[in-house]
Amino acid sequence: MLMDRAIPSAVFSQPPIGQVGLTEEQAVQEYGDIDVFTANFRPLKATLSGLPDRVFMKIIVCAITNRVLGVHMCGEDAAEIIQGIAIAVKAGLTKGDFDATVGIHPTSAEEFVTMRSPTRKIRRPHPPLEGKTDTDVKSPAKV
């Protein structure tokens, strides 16, 4: 059950890393079809100061239910931001809930509520229905 996996964790490295929920591999194994949303950018602080720092964020979503299954971040304040996101993952919020949230601008955290298009869609091949071949399933009804 996802709620058991909604325990956030962080690595206080340079840059810091934070995550909550499932990885892509775990999500595909448990849910099959997933959508992955990513953002890779220079935060405003780095842009203004001329630092080369970057932030990477990822949201993993069940393609069938739209439920957020995992969130990952690498960059400044990752632990602080993921701690807040963990509440949403544990509560079972959907990508639509994230999209309907107004982000605080200009912050790195706002990226989690402004990622609109999936970077990639992963679809696991589904086995044919019991007792039917792929041809039977795809064929129109014969009248």
Residue type, 84: G
Tens digits of residue pLDDT in 91-107: 999 999 999 999 999 99
In this prediction, residue 19 carries a pLDDT of: 98
* Residue of 12, 14, 105, 142 marked catalytic: 105
Averaged pLDDT for residues 86-94: 97
In this prediction, residue 5 carries a pLDDT of: 76
Mean pLDDT for the chain overall: 89
Angle (CA) 114 87 118, round 5°: 30
In this prediction, residue 129 carries a pLDDT of: 59
126 carries an active-site annotation: no
H or E element: which one contains 59?
Answer: strand 55-62
Domain-wise residue ranges, the chain = 2-124
Whole-prediction pTM? 0.84
In this prediction, residue 44 has a pLDDT band, given cuts at 50, 70 and 90, of: confident
15, pLDDT greater than 70: yes
Q: What are phi and psi of 12, to 5 degrees?
A: -85, 65
For the residues of 40-54, what is the DSSP string, one character each? EE--HHHHHHT----
24, pLDDT greater than 90: yes
136, pLDDT greater than 60: no
Peptide bond into 15 cis (omega under 30): yes
In this prediction, residue 57 carries a pLDDT of: 98
> Residue 75: left if φ>0, alpha if ψ -120 to 50, beta else—which one?
left
Which class does domain 2-124 fall in? alpha beta
Averaged pLDDT for residues 52-80: 97
